Amino acid sequence: MKWLLATAIDISFRYSSKSIVKKISFILLIASISLSVSAATPPAPDKNITGQVKSQDGTPLAGVTVSLKGTNVNTITDNSGDFTIRIPDNQQNPVLTFSSSGYLPQEIIIGDKSRIDVQLVTDVRNLNEVVVIGYGTQKRKDLTGSIASVSSAQIENRPVSSYEDALAGIAAGIDVAPRSARPGNTAEITIRGIGTISGDRQPLFVVDGFPTDAVNAAAINPSNIASVDILKDASSTAIYGSRGANGVIIITTKSGKAGQAKVSVNMKTGFAKANKHDFYDVLDGAQYVQWYKEKAQNNGTPIPSWVTNWDGTSTNWQDVIYRTAPFHDYALTISGGTDKLTYLISGGYLKQDDILLNAGFDKYSATMKAQYKASDRISIGINLSPNFTTQRLSAPEDDYSSLTGAAVLLPPIIPVYKQDGTPSDVNSYGILGYNMVNPLTIAENYKMTQKNFFLLSNAYLEVELLKGLTARSSIGANILDNKYRFFQAQGMQGQGLYPVTALELNSTRTINWLNENTLTYKTTFNRDHRLEVLAGYTVQKVSFESNGANANGFSSNLAQTVNFGTVQSAYSGESGNSLISYLARANYSYKDRYLLTATVRRDGSSRFGTNNLWGVFPSVAAAWNVSNERFMEDMRAIDHLKVRASYGVTGSNFIGDFTSKSSLRSLNSSFGNNSVVGFVNADPGNPDLSWEKSKQTDIGLDLGLMNRVSVTLDYFNNISNDLLLNVNVPPSLGYGGNLANIGSMKKWGYEATVNAEIIKNKDFSWSVGFNVSHLKQKVLKLGPTGAPLRQFFNVLVTEIGGPLEQEHALKQIGILTQKDIDNGVARKVGDKAGDYKFLDANNDGFIDAFNGADGVLVGDNNPRWLYGINTSLTYKNFRFSALLQGQAGAKMLDFVYQIFSLHSRNTNMDTYFFDGRYISEAQPGNGLVPRAGYNDEGAVSSWEVQKTDYLRIRNVNLSYTFPASISRKIFLNDLRAYISVENLYTFKKYRGGNPQATRNGFDTQIFGDHRTLSLNSVATAPLPRIFTLGINFSF
């Protein structure tokens, strides 16, 4: 008021002297009024607004940004979802905005409110969701590539030992195949099908920016994962160049957030059981005796005494090998920080016993993560993640000596125990024509242990050099120590077992060093143009060493070291590779309508020939945000519409470290009376050996309707060239073959993902989701002659024009009758009524062997369809969710049934051979199952081919979030309890435990895990049904 009074007096005295008195009187009157008003109404103070932010199901949301619109005033919610924000007194009609990833932003007018409670609505479109891409992040609305994302909420409450078990059915185009039900085994993951003939099929895994492999990625505690982003097309994977052809899976672990210290506890406990629905349906004692009695009668041989003297014993050996297996998973996380320093420290312990006897898996995990903002321009961070795992197995993976193999093949008329209560000697009953071992004896004496220590470490320095220009440098190491130990405590006479005590030890160490350096420039110009440019240089070096020994003939089981037995061999090895890369990417946006991405990477790898050490991998992508056009403003039903297209070239360097180099091998020989070791040529090498290259095209559409429905559609077409295959060379050269880039194949297909909020209100919501992928593949080139690749006695065939590993066998067309024989129907020598009737493919009147001229292609095990269905219902504080997942269109040549057919060994068999069998001309059966004791046992034919179609109820979960009024009374920020069931039920016609199981070996792979696509010969255990009770709370 002083300045107002002084100004008024100054203005007044400018008037003429005649009016001075009058003016002064007027001014004094105004000043008096102003001073009295000022005394009556002091300046308005700043105003504090408090409140709480929750999700739709009532869960308090931490980390929500609360901002005063149009200002820099903001805060974030604490662990309880509470916030306090100060509103300056000079704000006119202030408005608060609430925003958080995965939720729709919300604005609220403050008015005269002093407390504001908000419930955020889930953003079905996820347009503002931050997606992790190679060397950076983007909002989903700005993506030009095909990327699927999985959140921590979709992983952490599942009873799984590794994140990959939680991916199946969640994202389109992702095939997660648990080839084995053993806890601790990694699943085989493929993205959009297989695009290589002989190379590794798995994608590249990147954990917190560190490129690694499936084993290291699986070691991460699922509770520590913040998100999993799956990069599927060249636009998103080309930034990884020579390692992006099979796709990329980026795992980002949780970090600390500014705010008071928060302690989070996640506890799960439960048990796993084998689902009897998935047991092999083998003969019981009465059926077994009847079948072998008919066999003797049909073949005109005496009925065995063990049939005539059967004492009524009927053992289901599968009941012997399976058990109820406990499951425990505990995780503790402490996080918090300030505006300068944030931190997260976590520890976890998981124990998952196997449903098979004397086997299981343990995991100890820890994470220490810190980020420090030294100034407005400089920040540093460090991440240390040590993990330790132990896997215990109690039997080999063998046709007859795995616990499941023994359980389905052992005759049911043999008892489990002797009269003294010890396990029976199954060979002493005079029944078996092939040595086998009681599975209890195997489980007691076969001890195999894998112990792994993992360390993933990384540190970075980030500096903002200029406005919008940021430099980042990081260095890290990924260390894996593996110790393998096998001891067989007594000699066992069975396939895949040692006849004497045996010990094998092996130790390996892998050290993976990485240094990455990037420059990122972000700018907006002329208001409508946004540009982000990335440039980088990286170097990575891997070293590997191993050593081991084995011995047998131990005099005592008390001393289980190599020197107490007879040493059979000792060995050691070293290997390594290095990769140097230059990379660049540019993202451009005009008015958020037109998006353009260009990427290029140049890799130099020590693995390839001297003439092809370097490769260049470019990509380009464009997108049109149609919904941001003016002509879309009146189309309120469509709130998002984007069209995408991309093309690029990626590569695969997953080959041996020295495959391109010539090599020698040792050879034991004699010189005179002396034993000597010499060296001979092993491989000539190939200086022209180069990368497998994949040319990828993707066209996609993203659609959002009324913030209730989101749709994503994609078409992809990948052509892989320069695939690695062995070229035959003359034997006189002394080589078995030479590796060269001579193959080509194509894969293509479609993907669709639909998510919808069917009902959405305060107390009740219901959402559903569906994804489906249609996959095709075709081999285009197989070297100079184009000759097919044949494996496993010509049973598996890869040929031009077809998919990988087609099954080649005789085609069964029925069962021979006496009328067929009288009419001269083609058959094998010795066939009679009741035997298999096969297709005479070459019409020569005679049935050849399965790998001869009458063999035909009968299928392959490449799924044509992958799909997933999920639903979630929320009522007040209760939430129910379910996930279903399946596949269709694949067929497997299941050699378990070929082994069942070896009835000369007097093993048990599936009821398939009993129900509907041919007994006589008057009792011909169902026309598919032969007589007891049929001819040509063990023939490879189409009746062994099984469809692997299935629909699995993967997870069912019911949870309750306790109201804040209850949790706070016991000094907790939040409290949630749930029950979960994993692998509840599998709908299938497949006769066996696991339709996705395949065996090792006999495949086209030169590199990789050597899992045969289309063949299985080991009876498989079912995926366990896991019941879990869990509780989450924080304070």
Token pair of 136 as six digits: 């950076």
- pLDDT at position 10 over 90: no
pLDDT for residue 1009 = 53
Q: Which of 254-263, 264-273, 295-304 has the lowest mean pLDDT?
A: 254-263
Between these two residues, 26 and 267, which has the higher pLDDT value? Answer: 267
pLDDT of residue 542: 96
Average pLDDT of the residues in 940-948: 91
User: What pLDDT score does 45 carry?
Assistant: 62
DSSP lists the bridge partners of residue 751 as 714, 773
On the question of pLDDT at 654 being above 60, the answer is yes
Q: 153 and 146 in contact (C-beta within 8 Å)?
A: no
pLDDT at residue 40 in the model: 42
- For residue 1002, the model assigns a pLDDT of 53
Instruction: Give residue 935's pLDDT.
Output: 81
User: Could you name the CATH architecture of 130-254?
Assistant: Beta Complex (2.170)
Is residue 898 over pLDDT 90?
no
Which CATH code for domain 47-119?
A: 2.60.40.1120
What angle, 0 to 180 degrees and rounded to 10, lies between the N-to-C axes of helices 2-12 and 20-40? 170
Confidence at 735, pLDDT banded by 50, 70, 90: low
Alpha-carbon distance of 151 to 160, in angstroms, equals 15
Q: Does the pLDDT at position 32 exceed 50?
A: no
pLDDT value at 797 more than 70: yes
Mean pLDDT over residues 643-659, rounded?
90
Q: Which is it for strands 248-253 and 204-207: parallel, antiparallel or unpaired?
A: parallel
Examine the pLDDT at 570 and tell me if it is beyond 80.
yes
- CB-based contact 193:244 (threshold 8 Å): no
Residue 1010's pLDDT is 53
| Mean pLDDT, rounded, for 953-957 | 95
Whether residue 260 is predicted with pLDDT greater than 90 in this model: the reply is no
Using the predicted structure, report yes or no on whether residue 992 has a pLDDT greater than 90: no
Residue 507 has pLDDT above 70, yes or no: yes
pLDDT at 1 over 50: no
The encoded tokens of residue 993 equal 């435990």
pLDDT per residue over 573-613, tens digit each? 999 999 999 999 999 999 999 999 999 999 999 998 889 89
What is the distance between the alpha carbons of residues 350 and 329, in angstroms, rounded to a whole number? 4
pLDDT in tens, 741-792: 889 999 999 999 999 999 988 889 999 999 999 999 999 999 888 889 888 8
pLDDT category at 31 given cuts 50, 70, 90 is very low
Question: Residue range 972-993: average pLDDT?
Answer: 92
Mean pLDDT: which of 88-92, 551-555, 677-681 is highest?
A: 551-555
Q: How confident is the model at residue 23 (pLDDT cuts 50, 70, 90)?
A: very low
Q: Is the pLDDT confidence value at 103 over 50?
A: yes
Statement: residue 22 has pLDDT above 60: no
Residue 842 tokens, joined: 């070459």
Tokens of 782: 């197989």
| 354-363, 474-483, 812-821, 1011-1020: segment of lowest average pLDDT | 1011-1020
How sure is the predictor about 16, in pLDDT bands with cuts at 50, 70 and 90? very low
SS3 per residue for 497-519: CCCCCEEEEEEEEEEEEEEEEEE
Question: What percent of the chain shows pLDDT beyond 70?
Answer: 93
> What 3-state DSSP class applies to 177?
strand
Q: What is the dihedral of CA 998, 1002, 1003, 1006, to 10 degrees?
A: 130
Q: Does position 44 have pLDDT exceeding 90, yes or no?
A: no
pLDDT of residue 791: 84
Q: Is the pLDDT of residue 795 over 90?
A: no
Per-residue model confidence (pLDDT) at position 647? 96
Rounded Cα distance, 769 and 170, in Å: 9
pLDDT of residue 390: 96
**Structure confidence by residue, pLDDT tens digits, 269-292:** 999 999 999 999 999 999 999 999
Hey, where are the domains in the chain?
2-40, 47-119, 130-254, 812-850
Q: pLDDT exceeding 90 applies to what percent of the chain? A: 61
484 touches 450 (CB < 8 A): yes
Per-residue pLDDT, 730 = 65
Check pLDDT > 50 for residue 531. yes
pLDDT tens-digit series, residues 146-186:
999 888 888 877 777 788 888 889 999 999 988 788 898 88
Instruction: Give the model's pLDDT for residue 402.
Output: 93
Which band of pLDDT confidence, cut at 50, 70 and 90, is reported for residue 34? very low
Rounded distance, CA 871 to CA 956, Å?
10
Please, what is the average pLDDT of the chain? 88
DSSP secondary structure letters along 326-351: EEEEEEEEEEEE-SSEEEEEEEEEEE
pLDDT at residue 38 is higher than 50 = no
Residue 82 scores a pLDDT above 60: yes
- pLDDT tens for each residue of 188-229: 899 999 999 888 889 999 999 999 988 899 888 888 898 899
Cβ count within 10 A of residue 479: 16
pLDDT at residue 737 is higher than 80 = no
In the chain, the N- to C-terminal Cα span, in Å, equals 52
Euclidean distance between CA atoms 149 and 203, whole angstroms: 15
Q: Band the pLDDT of 1006: cuts 50, 70, 90.
A: low
pLDDT band at 88, cuts 50/70/90? confident
Distance CA 418, CA 561 (A): 32
pLDDT tens string 458-470: 999 999 999 999 9
pLDDT of 58 reads 73
Q: What band does 36 get if pLDDT is binned at 50, 70 and 90? A: very low
pLDDT band at residue 999, thresholds of 50, 70 and 90? low
Q: What is the pLDDT of residues 823-839, one digit of tens each?
A: 999 999 889 999 999 99
In order, the DSSP letters of 781-835 are EETTT-PPEEETTTTEEE-TTS-SSEEEEB-EEEE--HHHHHTT--B-TT--TTS
**Where in 245-377 does DSSP place strands (E)?**
248-253, 259-273, 325-337, 341-353, 360-373
Q: To which residue do tokens 């009821």 refer? A: 911
